[in-house]
């Protein structure tokens, strides 16, 4: 039986990562009720078979709560690691030389294998090599085809197969590994709505993933490499959405540079009409503690004030002791920020100039008309979701009710700011559009009897990209009484 749940009054979306602490259908439902709008399945951990129940449980929420659900499958990407040591662990001493080579012999305190030919090809003098999440720092003194001589700038213990970051290089390395290709095919087969691509260095990295997805999911680029920042506009242009992956950015770049970069990425994505997610360490202390630090609360609030489409929980909801509490806390922080009278001004810090198209002009007009006539919501019909993305880009002060005949479109919109998506039958006439918009606004509590709603659609109907109509209606409660049922067998 469908359990009624009111639309989120909060406009920023919450993306919760699933893991050992949140793998059961019961826990996933609790996360949804606590405020999670979408779920991230991390393909880095566990095998594909273990992910099938997660996909099924998330989709099961649609029947339970009567709302489309959103799944993001996050691909692992290439992992750079050093080889093994004869004793399993060594101590690198600051100021001493250390060699990275292609020799498979177990290493010692003077050398170790580096099993990545691409690094030798891209390395140059003075480049930094960061080991173990940046805890150790090497600087390249000289480069040979199979040997890098470095100086240890920051020493410490180094054990087998520790990770390596190369912030000063653009590697001739594909963003997709064989594991990623297999995981991508699996995720698409399972019905993932978004595929997140790791290790994006350049816009060309997105092309293979786009081809393999074949239009069956949206493509999200994780911005986690300094080289990606250098070509940010081009990368954003080539993807459907962006993630500010602050974990790796904070390893490869000085930590003080990450906050302004976060704002720059959010601003770029918003300007180009792509949803943007802020991720990593948002409520990190809640992995162990039932309450966050004041600094973490401020961090989440900043992302909401900046107008991010979504904010993400990682280990907090995947492996922490307080997964439901973490989602509830993020929900309450976002609610408090959006109730701040200054939020409406702060969220428009990005100067947006609509493209010279009818659709963009109408999206901007819909926001302004809704404000002028004190409308309670904006309703739009969309086939591909492009109308919804244009309206959400404007960050209107009212909810956006999106009606679509395509369930995959409704699901993908779960990461979009302010959107309440409804899967329903299409309309064949302007009059039917008006009547259905009014009924759905009442039924989904976007507006009440006597309220105004701004309608946005395209004529002729069923033509993607034809948005060309704005219409303001006043709701009457009797309209819902006259049409109490669902809009069809596929309505959610």
> Residue 361 burial (CB < 10 Å; 0-12/13-18/19+)?
middle
Taking residues 56-75, report their average pLDDT.
Answer: 96
Give the model's confidence band at 489: pLDDT under 50 very low, under 70 low, under 90 confident, else very high: very low
Taking residues 10-25, report their average pLDDT.
Answer: 97
Give the model's confidence band at 457: pLDDT under 50 very low, under 70 low, under 90 confident, else very high: confident
- Is 280 assigned a catalytic role? yes
The answer, yes or no, to whether residue 492 has pLDDT greater than 50, is: no
Domain 13-77+175-340: assigned CATH number: 3.20.20.60
Percent of the chain clearing pLDDT 90 (strictly above): 82
Backbone angles phi, psi at 137, to 5 degrees: -130, 125
The answer, yes or no, to whether residue 352 has pLDDT greater than 90, is: no
Which of the residues 70, 268, 280, 467 is marked catalytic? 280
Options 3.90.180.10, 2.40.37.10, 3.60.20.10, 2.40.33.10; CATH of 89-165: 2.40.33.10
Which of the residues 81, 139, 264, 425 is marked catalytic? 81
Domain 358-482: assigned CATH number: 3.40.1380.20
Task: Please enumerate in sequence order all residues whose Cβ is within 8 A of that of 58, keeping only pairs 6 or more positions apart, or say none.
Answer: 28, 39, 69, 71
Q: Which pLDDT value is given to residue 326?
A: 98
Q: Count Cβ neighbours within 10 Å for each residue of 450-461 and write b for 16 or more, e otherwise.
A: ebbbbbbbbeeb
Which of the residues 222, 246, 390, 438 is marked catalytic? 222
Residue 194 to residue 232: CA distance in whole angstroms? 20
- List, by residue range, all CATH 2.40.33.10 domains of the chain: 89-165
**How confident is the model over 418-451, as pLDDT tens digits?**
999 999 988 888 888 889 999 999 999 999 999 9
* More reliable by pLDDT, 427 or 278: 278
**How confident is the model over 373-414, as pLDDT tens digits?**
999 999 998 888 998 999 999 999 999 999 999 999 999 999
- Is 10 assigned a catalytic role? no
Contact of 251 with 136, CB cutoff 8 Å: no
Taking residues 319-334, report their average pLDDT.
Answer: 98
Q: Which pLDDT value is given to residue 3?
A: 57
For the chain, give the mean pLDDT: 92
Q: Which pLDDT value is given to residue 484?
A: 46
> Residue 17 burial (CB < 10 Å; 0-12/13-18/19+)?
buried
Q: Which pLDDT value is given to residue 473?
A: 94
Give the model's confidence band at 486: pLDDT under 50 very low, under 70 low, under 90 confident, else very high: very low
Tokens 């702060």, residue located: 346
The answer, yes or no, to whether residue 1 has pLDDT greater than 50, is: no
- Is 177 assigned a catalytic role? no
Residue 350 to residue 267: CA distance in whole angstroms? 6
Residue 213 to residue 219: CA distance in whole angstroms? 8
The answer, yes or no, to whether residue 138 has pLDDT greater than 70, is: yes
Backbone angles phi, psi at 109, to 5 degrees: -75, -5
Which of the residues 40, 51, 111, 438 is marked catalytic? 40
- List, by residue range, all CATH 3.40.1380.20 domains of the chain: 358-482
Size (the chain), residues: 492
The answer, yes or no, to whether residue 8 has pLDDT greater than 90, is: no
Two structure tokens written together for 492: 């959610």
Give the distance from CA 216 to its chain's centroid.
17
DSSP 7-34: PPS--SEEEEEESGGG-SHHHHHHHHHH
- List, by residue range, all CATH 3.20.20.60 domains of the chain: 13-77+175-340
- Is 79 assigned a catalytic role? no
Q: Which pLDDT value is given to residue 232?
A: 97
Secondary structure (3-state) at 85: strand
The answer, yes or no, to whether residue 341 has pLDDT greater than 60, is: yes
**How confident is the model over 29-55, as pLDDT tens digits?**
999 999 999 999 999 999 999 999 999
> Residue 91 burial (CB < 10 Å; 0-12/13-18/19+)?
exposed
């Amino acid at each position: 039986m469908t359990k009624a749940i009111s639309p989120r009054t909060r406009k920023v979306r919450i993306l919760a990562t699933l893991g050992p602490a949140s793998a059961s259908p019961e826990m996933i439902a609790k996360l949804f009720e606590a405020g999670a709008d979408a779920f991230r399945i991390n393909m880095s951990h566990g095998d594909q078979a273990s992910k099938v129940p997660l996909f099924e449980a998330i989709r099961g929420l649609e029947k339970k709560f009567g709302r489309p659900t959103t799944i993001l499958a996050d691909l692992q990407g290439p992992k750079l690691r050093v080889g093994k040591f004869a004793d399993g662990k060594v101590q690198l001493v600051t100021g001493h030389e250390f060699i990275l080579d292609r020799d498979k012999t177990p290493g010692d305190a003077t050398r170790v294998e580096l099993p990545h030919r691409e690094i030798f090809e891209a390395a140059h003098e003075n480049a930094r090599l960061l080991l173990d999440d940046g805890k150790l720092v090497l600087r390249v003194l000289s480069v040979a085809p199979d040997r890098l001589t470095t100086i240890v700038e920051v020493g410490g213990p180094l054990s087998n197969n520790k990770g390596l970051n190369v912030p000063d290089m653009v590697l001739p390395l594909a963003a997709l590994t064989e594991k990623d290709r297999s995981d991508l095919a699996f995720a698409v087969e399972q019905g993932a709505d978004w595929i997140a691509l790791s290790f994006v260095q350049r816009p060309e990295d997105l092309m293979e993933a786009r081809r393999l997805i074949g239009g069956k999911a949206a493509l999200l680029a994780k911005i986690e490499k300094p080289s990606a920042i250098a070509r940010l506009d081009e990368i954003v242009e080539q993807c459907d959405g962006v993630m500010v992956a602050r974990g790796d950015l904070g390893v490869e770049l000085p930590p003080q540079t990450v906050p302004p970069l976060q704002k720059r990425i959010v601003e770029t994505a918003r300007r180009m009409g792509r949803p943007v997610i802020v991720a990593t360490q948002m409520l990190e202390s809640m992995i162990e503690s039932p309450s966050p630090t004041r600094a973490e609360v401020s961090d989440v609030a900043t992302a909401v004030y900046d107008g991010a489409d979504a904010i993400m929980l990682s280990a907090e909801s995947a492996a922490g002791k307080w997964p439901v509490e973490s989602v509830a806390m993020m929900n309450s922080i976002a609610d408090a920020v959006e109730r701040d009278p200054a939020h409406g001004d702060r969220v428009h810090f990005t100067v947006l100039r609509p493209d010279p198209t009818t659709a963009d002009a109408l999206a901007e007009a819909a926001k302004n008309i809704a404000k002028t006539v004190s409308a309670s919501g904006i309703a739009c019909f969309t086939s591909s979701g492009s109308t919804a993305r244009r309206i959400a880009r404007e960050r209107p002060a009212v909810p956006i009710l999106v009606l679509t005949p395509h369930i995959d479109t409704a699901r993908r919109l779960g990461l979009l700011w302010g959107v309440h998506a409804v899967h329903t039958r299409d309309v064949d006439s302007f009059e039917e559009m008006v009547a259905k918009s009014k009924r759905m606004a009442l039924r989904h509590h976007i507006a009440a009897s006597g309220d105004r709603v701004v309608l946005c659609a395209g004529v002729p109907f069923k033509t993607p990209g034809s948005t060309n109509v704005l219409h303001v209606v006043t709701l009457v409660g009797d309209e819902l009484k006259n049409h109490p049922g669902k809009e069809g067998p596929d309505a959610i």
